[in-house]
């Protein structure tokens, strides 16, 4: 069984890597803001960021309430 220290280190390593990956992908998405290369509407932008914000809230809730989606069992 992994010790608390090992679990903590594994979390930190993965969390840093995965956070950096998300940030990189957001920067890539930001490239779509170039009006000389792309055409988009305010509605499309709102839709994109509403979905991103919804997903962030959902994932954040998992850290605060990890058993939120747990299935009922007897």
User: Which residue reads 């608390």 in tokens?
Assistant: 4
Q: Are 47 and 41 in contact (CB under 8 A)?
A: no
Which tens digit of pLDDT belongs to each residue from 29-45?
999 999 999 999 999 99
Q: Are 68 and 59 in contact (CB under 8 A)?
A: no
pTM beyond 0.75: yes
Q: Splitting the chain (74 residues) into consecutive groups of 10 residues, what average pLDDT does each group show?
A: 93 98 98 97 97 96 77 72
Cα separation, 66 vs 64, in Å, equals: 6
């Amino acid at each position: 069984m992994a010790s608390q220290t090992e679990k903590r280190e594994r979390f930190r390593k993965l969390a840093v890597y995965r956070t950096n990956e998300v940030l990189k992908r957001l920067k890539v998405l930001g490239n779509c803001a170039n009006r000389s290369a792309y055409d988009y509407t305010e509605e499309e932008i709102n839709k994109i960021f509403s979905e991103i914000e919804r997903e962030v809230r959902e994932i954040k809730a998992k850290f605060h309430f990890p058993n939120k989606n747990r299935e009922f069992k007897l």
